[in-house]
Amino acid sequence: MARVRLEHVTKRYDDVVAVDDMNVEIEDGEFVCLVGPSGCGKSTTMETIAGLTRPSEGTVYIGETDVTNLAPKDRGIAMVFQNIALFPHMDVFENVSFGLRLRTFDDEEIERRVEEAAEIVQLEGMLDRMPDEMSGGQRQRVAIARAIVRNPDVFLMDEPLANLDAKLRVHMRTELQRLHKQLDTTIIYVTHDQAEAMTMSDRIAVIDAGRLQQIDPPLTCYNEPANLFVAGFIGSPSMNFVRGTVVAGGLETENFDLEFDPAGVPEVGVGDEVTLGVRPEDVHLVADADGSARRIGTIEATTDVLEPMGDEIFVYLLLDEESEGSMEEDPMASQDQLLMSVSPDTDLREGDAVEVTLDGSKTHLFDAESGDALVHGIAGRSGSDPGTAPTEAED
Amino acid sequence: MTDDRDGGRREPAPNRRASRRVGADGLRSDGGDAIADGREADLDRGPFQRWVADSISRPERVYRAMFYVAAIFFLVTTLFPFYWLLMVALTPEGQLQNILFTPNGFNPGAFVEVFEVIPFHWYMFNSFVIALGSTIVVLVVGSLAGYAFGRLEFPGRTPLMLLVLVISFFPPAAFFIPLNDLFNTQFAALEPITGDGTLYNTPGALVTPLSAIFMPLSIFILTTFYAQIPDGLEDAARVEGTTRLGALFRVIIPLSAPGVATAGVLTFIAVYNEFFFSFLMTDGQPQNWAPILEGILAYQGQYEVMYHLMAAASILGVIPVAILVVVAQEKIVSGLTAGALKE
């Protein structure tokens, strides 16, 4: 068990900076997800921790030891790979005991530890099978057993569930969480699936373009994203963004105005160019509004496409009637569309004219230039209320 | 009468031809002539034409026949010399005339006599050690080179690979004189190993040049195989506790078994069969590591040539390689085809 610390880690390839000045500190026993889009450098970060890649600059510490120049085998780590990477010429026992047999353990000790690991991942009685005789989930469990059998200080998992089908993935997710509780070992987990990161981790490290964007507990990332990228990446479907200017009485955008008192929000000043961010579940129909003071402004819109999900309906709102739902490449950049989540019994049809309002306490403002978050909750100032369940619509 | 008859005979001929033409056109039919025509069309096709027509409509028989022809041809051309060698070996000394399909007499004792006249088993042992040594050197060095070429990215990889290829095109004879000179030079460092400090008359004099000559082929085979092993497996082995070398020997080589077997067997056979260096790098004495080749030639004295013993020795010399090929055949075939598919 150990802390993991990255200090100014940078990895450059010929003309690409894969990891750019990464500073992360992971506590002993913590479950941290590195999450980001494909090619953001999260796997390279993982490889520098594992020792499979040597960073161009910076230092990696595991425990209090500088491991930057140590070989992977001397770092006290174990890794589960995306493609599982079981040795196809060895049976399960040989696969699991591979690392032990390379070290000085006697046969009885090896056997005892392999059986213990097999029990943890529920693979008893399969030790003499070959990997190609097993299902994807079983192979994954063998890979995990191979990792835990050595009692590593740190577990590294590089998208271990990516190649499994959806149902198995959810199942293995729970098993991994159970395993983490049982072993109480530091786990660093790489994924591009923000839902996986949200559900499993103690803290999420959001990475984009080789840079760490935010490292915080899942709900903090969700409720108080550090910048536009985190706000857009965490949460599904993603947050609505609208560009606007702060004026004396509130906020002006191309298609609507919001009313709030800029004087009560010291982070912004009149005349600032900002990006407004609001999650679909914080957009409400005026008709449903319960008179809460947090609601700001009234937006007139036309419903476009309805997506019933069962427990909620996603409604695409057109703010500008002439635009007819332009299909822009980046939906986050759309200026005349809003996504709203309403309860499934709401009576709405495509093409209806509706009036909606925003929950001011959960409306974020970002700097239009840098994308950094300025304020979370421009009215009511209770945006960071930890008791609020973030995933459900509140209508 | 005869004239008349002749004339009479001659006359109808053009008529018949004419009527045939017309009948063929179907404009006019003359009963008798028409029947005669039909028979004649059938009769025109001789046995050869019928056979051709038959072959076109049912080609399987032809294919099968051609398969047998080709198979028998290759079997005869490859096995007959061996058969003939056996006949020569079985023929008693001095009766070597007119051997074709049967030996002149029967003398299986030649296979024993081979070992009595000279210590042929010693020559066989020498050849075996030299071939095995070269194979081990080639596989170890070739594996390291194959790993580097197949799995690492480094500047100058392609030029280096081409250089290996170019060197493999050199005629081995071009190296002989400098190498022979080198192996006859005394080095103090070698004295504890070889006695007089030279490599001449040691296995080293054969293993060194022969493994170098047959190395490029093995490097190419092994590079192809090692390049196919997924990176994840090597990474997993390294995280589990091996070095890069450990991963090569514990994971990559076992998974490339067909390629390693192919490279190994090809090298072994090539070294075992090699003539030029084998003939010149020792003085021909078995205690000086002379290979089989020298043993076979040793039956050739100043006044007599014991062909039957040379033949018997040749047959005995082939046996180890034949066994090796039979044992490794399956792996060689899959190894060769796998390499071929990759390119």
CATH topology (fold) of A4-229: Rossmann fold (3.40.50)
Instruction: Give the model confidence (pLDDT) of A263-283 as tens digits.
Output: 777 788 888 888 888 898 888
CA proximity to B212, closest of B182, B176, B168, B259: B168
C-alpha pair distances (Å), A174 with each of A1, A78, A144, B185: 22, 20, 14, 73
Bridge partners for A62 per DSSP: A4, A65
Smallest CA–CA distance, residue B254 to chain A, in Å, is 7
What DSSP designation does A3 have? -
Instruction: Name the strands in the sheet holding A17-26, side by side, starting at the edge strand that comes first in the sequence.
Output: A17-26, A4-12, A57-62, A65-66
Nearest CA in chain A to B240: A99
pLDDT score for A355 = 86
pLDDT score for B18 = 44
Per-residue pLDDT tens digits of chain B, which is 343 residues long: 444 444 444 444 444 444 444 444 444 444 445 455 545 555 567 888 888 888 888 888 889 999 999 999 999 999 998 888 898 888 888 777 777 777 888 888 889 988 988 899 999 999 999 999 999 999 999 999 999 999 998 999 999 999 998 888 888 888 889 998 998 888 888 887 777 778 888 888 999 999 999 999 999 999 999 998 888 889 999 998 899 999 999 999 988 888 898 899 999 999 999 988 888 888 888 888 899 989 898 888 878 888 889 999 999 999 888 888 888 877 776 666 554 443 3
Cα separation, A128 vs A94, whole angstroms: 9
Nearest CA in chain B to A101: B241
Interface test with A, best of B153, B229, B234, B239 (most A CBs within 10 A): B239
Nearest CA in chain A to B231: A85
* Least CB–CB distance from A102: residue in B241, B254, B255: B241
CATH topology (fold) of B110-342: MetI-like fold (1.10.3720)
Angle at A19 between CA A17 and CA A20, to 5 degrees: 80
Q: What is the DSSP string of A63-84?
A: TTEE-TTS-GGGTTEEEE-TT-
Contacts of residue A11, defined as CB under 8 A and 6 or more positions apart, other chains included, come to: A17, A18, A19, A41, A44, A48, A53, A55, A56, A210
Whether residue B239 and residue A87 make contact (CB cut-off 8 A), yes or no, is: no
What three-state secondary structure class fits A253? strand
- Longest pairwise C-alpha distance within chain B: 117
Q: Compute the CA torsion angle B93, B98, B102, B105 (nearest 10 deg).
A: -30
pLDDT score for B325 = 84
Cα separation, A48 vs A127, whole angstroms: 32
Residue pointed to by tokens 């280096």: B160
Amino acid at B342: K
pLDDT score for A384 = 39
CB-based burial, B104-132: b 16+ in 10 Å, e otherwise: beebeebbebbbeebebebbbebbeebbb
Q: Give me the helices (H) in chain A, please.
A: 42-50, 92-101, 107-120, 136-148, 166-183, 194-200, 218-223, 228-233
CA proximity to A189, closest of A235, A131, A147, A146: A147
Residue pointed to by tokens 């050739």: B300
Contacts of residue A99, defined as CB under 8 A and 6 or more positions apart, other chains included, come to: A78, A146, A149, A150, B240, B241
Smallest CA–CA distance, residue B80 to chain A, in Å, is 43
Task: Look at B44 and A238; give whichever has higher pLDDT.
Answer: A238
- Contact list, A150 vs chain B (CB under 8 Å): 240-241
Nearest CA in chain A to B254: A89
C-alpha pair distances (Å), A116 with each of A110, A112, A120, A151: 10, 6, 6, 11
Report which secondary-structure segment, H or E, holds A123: none
Cα separation, B338 vs B224, whole angstroms: 9
Instruction: Name the strands in the sheet holding A77-80, side by side, starting at the edge strand that comes first in the sequence.
Output: A77-80, A154-158, A186-191, A31-35, A203-208, A211-216
Cα separation, A66 vs A342, whole angstroms: 52
Nearest CA in chain B to A75: B239
Cα separation, B116 vs A261, whole angstroms: 115
- A with B: how many residue pairs have Cβ under 8 Å apart? 59
Number of other CB atoms surrounding residue B213 within 10 Å: 23
Nearest CA in chain B to A72: B239
Number of other CB atoms surrounding residue B275 within 10 Å: 9
Bridge partners for A157 per DSSP: A80, A189
Chain B residues whose C-beta is within 8 A of a chain A C-beta are 230, 232-233, 235-243, 246, 251, 254-255
- The two three-digit tokens of residue A312, written as one number: 């909620």
Locate CATH 2.40.50.140 in chain A. Answer: 238-376
- Contact list, B230 vs chain A (CB under 8 Å): 83, 85
Cα separation, B237 vs B240, whole angstroms: 5
- Contact list, B232 vs chain A (CB under 8 Å): 81-85
Smallest CA–CA distance, residue B322 to chain A, in Å, is 29
CATH topology (fold) of A238-376: OB fold (Dihydrolipoamide Acetyltransferase, E2P) (2.40.50)
Interface test with B, best of A81, A84, A163 (most B CBs within 10 A): A81
Mean pLDDT of chain A: 84
pTM: 0.75
- Contact list, A87 vs chain B (CB under 8 Å): 233, 236-237, 251, 255
Domain range summary for chain B, segments of one domain joined by +? 2-44, 57-108, 110-342
- The two three-digit tokens of residue A302, written as one number: 């036309």
- Contact list, A86 vs chain B (CB under 8 Å): 236
> Mean pLDDT, to the nearest integer, of A37-65?
90
- Contact list, B254 vs chain A (CB under 8 Å): 89
To the nearest whole percent, how much of chain A has pLDDT over 70?
Answer: 90
Parallel/antiparallel/unpaired status of strands A273-278 and A240-247: antiparallel
- Contact list, A50 vs chain B (CB under 8 Å): 235, 239
- Contact list, B237 vs chain A (CB under 8 Å): 87, 98
What burial class does residue A129 get, using C-beta atoms within 10 Å of its C-beta: 0-12 exposed, 13-18 middle, 19+ buried? middle
